[in-house]
Structures are given as structure tokens and as C-alpha cells.
Amino acid sequence: MYTVGLLKVQQVFDKSLQEKLNQHEVVCNISELVEGFNIDVISTLAFSLEGDSLRYKDTKFRAMCKNYTQENNNIYKTYFAFCYPRLARLLQYRLYSPEATSYFQKLINDKLYEREYQRSHHSAYDFLQICYDYRKTCTNNQAFENIDKTEIAAEAFSFIPAGLDSCTTTVSCCLYELALQPDIQQKTRREIHAILRKYENKLNENSLNEMVYLKQVLYGKSRFE
């Protein structure tokens, strides 16, 4: 259901990548490229925040995403929070940094205010739009109040631990394996080019669904994660 948003991110990323590749003697770090794309996907789909991480690397959103990954590397902190949630809550234990928590909460509050009270016309079908549509169609005031903004922020934030490092690692390793196996790489490229020609070089939901071999390559890599 997020296909439109993904395609918009892809178009921005492709344009910035072409500009980067046109530079002379450019050396690209694949992990950074994939991470930047994933950050743009998360910011667009979960937080309704357009991004271009290839062109603007020092954004506040990216810094806060990196802040999460750096703060959450301690396995003992994670173990304590998940195994003893009541004690952690009693001690006001924080798994994530207060700075990142405040940033994402304020970002969600601002975006919800923009959707609900300023009645901004937003055609993108993202996570916040789903929340906004539910609030708009809800006639029960009690049910309306049950959707707490903190809970919405927590759900939006869950896109980061669920999709940032895991997707970056999977895609980066997949590209590395394709570089080591040129026959599989060429077969994948041929499928992509053939389907794009069929759809007049337009990447959409239908063309993506027809890339069967590309999906098999990704799924095959995921089995070894």
C-alpha cells in the first residue's frame, strides 16, 4: 500500500545517484548508499518527511536515526528492558536516548497537527495518513482519544529498528554477492531491463511484481542472514 511513496523516494534517489556518478573519479560506499535510501524510505513512509540523503547527508533525521543505532548497541541494556519491563518502567529506564525520543515525538506531533488542524492536502498514503484518516472518520470521541500521540510516535519509530539496519545489511550483502557472481548479476539485469522496456521505463507496482528473479535473489540472500 506504500508503493506510491516508495516510487517517489526511488525517483529522488535515482536523480541524486546519477548526479553523483557523473562526477569524475567518484568512489561510492555501497553500505552508505543503501543506508541513505532506507533512511529516505522510513522518513517518507513513517514520518511524512521528504528526504534526499545522497545530496544532504547531515540532516537532523539521519543524525537521530544514527543516534538510535549507536545508543542501542548495548545488548545488556536491551536484555534488561525486554526481560524486566515493569522494573525498567519503575526505574524510568530509557532504552533510547532522550534527545532522539524528544525529536521523533515532536516530529510526529507537528505532522499530526499539520494534518488534523491545518487541513493540509496530502495525497501520499503513508503511516500518518492512515492515522489521520482514522481520526477523521471516527465518530466516537472516546475512541478518538484512545489514539495517543505517544503511541503513534512509538509505532512510527518502530520502522527504524525494524527496517534500517536489517534492510541495509541484506541489500548491501546482496549487492556484494551479485558482484562476486556476474552470471547471476547479468541475469538479474536482463530481467529488470526487459520488464522496464515492457512498461516504457516506468517503475510501478505492476512492473515490480513481475521481477520474479530479482525477488528470488533477495529472498535467497535473506535465508543466510
**The pLDDT of residue 182:** 92
179 vs 167: CA distance, rounded Å: 18
Phi first, then psi: what are they for 36, rounded to 5°?
-65, -40
Q: How many CA atoms lie within 13 A of 92 on its CB side?
A: 1
Structure letter (DSSP) for residue 71: H
**The pLDDT of residue 139:** 53
Closest CA to 167 of 221, 108, 127: 221
- Residue-wise pLDDT for 163-217, tens only, equals 888 888 889 988 998 999 999 999 999 999 999 999 888 777 788 889 999 988 9
Higher-confidence position of 12 and 1:
12
**The pLDDT of residue 225:** 47
Question: Are 125 and 1 spatial neighbours (Cβ–Cβ below 8 Å)?
Answer: yes
Q: Is the pLDDT of residue 111 over 60?
A: yes
Give the residue extent of every domain in the chain: 3-163, 164-222
